[in-house]
Amino acid sequence: MSKLPTDLSGRDVRAALERAGFVFRRQTGSHMILRRQEPYARAVIPDHKQIRSGTLRRIIADAGLTVEQFMQLLGR
């Protein structure tokens, strides 16, 4: 299991998922909803200054990515 960074904001996660083909759809309160058509996936990202590691793992799984793929999207 790869080590996830603990210093990511919701905006950082959003930028990484947009590189993977996700499109920002809307924001409800402090939650950003992103969607990808092919293959279909939806991710809900809290717009917080720091995302907890368990929440980040759930976002990565909902996006249909592995931790390694997500780290490449971050450029780390």
pLDDT in tens, 24-67: 999 999 999 999 999 999 999 999 999 999 999 999 999 999 99
Q: How many CB atoms lie within 10 A of CB 28?
A: 8
Residues forming a β-bridge with 44? 33
Q: Which domains does the chain have, with CATH numbers?
A: 10-74 (3.30.920.30)
Residue carrying the six token digits 């990565």: 60
Q: Which residues pair with 35 in a beta bridge?
A: 23, 42
Which pLDDT value is given to residue 4? 87
**pLDDT of res. 6:** 86
pLDDT of residue 1: 57
* Cα atoms in the 13 Å half-sphere on the side-chain side of 5: 15
Q: Could you tell me if 48 and 70 are in contact, meaning their C-beta atoms sit under 8 angstroms apart? A: no
Spatial contact of 34 and 42, defined as CB atoms under 8 Å apart: yes
